[in-house]
Structure 1
């Protein structure tokens, strides 16, 4: 995971893995107040238009999250998380397997 994250940093796309990890942790939250706070943090950092680490998701998914962010639940980011996962598995991960970072890891 660390090597893949470093690879994504080198490609200026680390927001994908950071978002995916944030969603994974978000799903562990059981306190409603904490869930709302964390949902708003994830939204402002990754989802909203012009977010500092804006992820590449379709506008329908972004609009759905924006509409529901005032009353988030455990599934608030599921569609976006699935899109980012597909993006990483189809695009970033195959390039990672060919990268110098991964090849150096194999050498060890």
Structure 2
């Protein structure tokens, strides 16, 4: 039997939003993108990252996704400064783990941000999540419990 899905664009990506948000949990094991493009997946992955004390990764990634959708310059400047002070600058409250060259480049250009200002850092964080966090997420109690719920 085929499941009916409604696809909703989230920052240019497609999300399978089903009547039962747990109905597509099994597809999360196919790719980290399946987790990140689904609101329920984001929540579960965030809960897992909290348990690993690395929640800043998904929060930064999501902030960047929202940032790329901004249409006016004042809002872009305000949002860029918030992302910078919250995640990028040295000693930021939710400082992300990026190389010093990427951090310096963002710092150098933050006074005149563009919609691509955080792209290199976002790619690094995505890669970190996909390579390191995502495989552990699939084995985690958080994900396994959700899988069991869908089996009922």
Length-normalised TM-score, structure 2? 0.71
Instruction: Give the whole-Å Cα distance in 1 for the aligned partners of 2:119 and 2:50.
Output: 24
Count of paired positions:
108
Which aligned segments of 4 or more residues in structure 1 are displaced greater than 2 angstroms? Answer: none
Instruction: Give the whole-Å Cα distance in 1 for the aligned partners of 2:97 and 2:58.
Output: 12
Superposition RMSD in Å? 0.3
Structure 2: 5+ residue stretches without partners? 1-41
Structure 1: 5+ residue stretches without partners? none
> Could you give the per-residue CA deviations for residues 48-98 of structure 1, whole angstroms, max 9, x where no partner exists?
000000000000000000000000000000000000000000000000000
Q: Equivalent residue for 2:45?
A: 4
> Could you give the per-residue CA deviations for residues 8-54 of structure 1, whole angstroms, max 9, x where no partner exists?
00110000000000000000001001000000000000000000000
Instruction: Give the whole-Å Cα distance in 2 for the aligned partners of 1:3 and 1:37.
Output: 29
**In the alignment, does 2:104 pair up with 1:63?**
yes
The structure with the greater share of residues assigned to strand is 2
Q: Equivalent residue for 1:104?
A: 145
Q: Equivalent residue for 1:26?
A: 67
Whichever of the two has the greater Rg, that structure is 2
The structure with the greater share of residues assigned to helix is 1
Which residue among 83, 102, 106 is the counterpart of 2:124? 83
Q: Equivalent residue for 1:92?
A: 133
Q: Equivalent residue for 2:77?
A: 36
Q: Which has the higher contact order (CA 8 A, sep 6+)?
A: 1
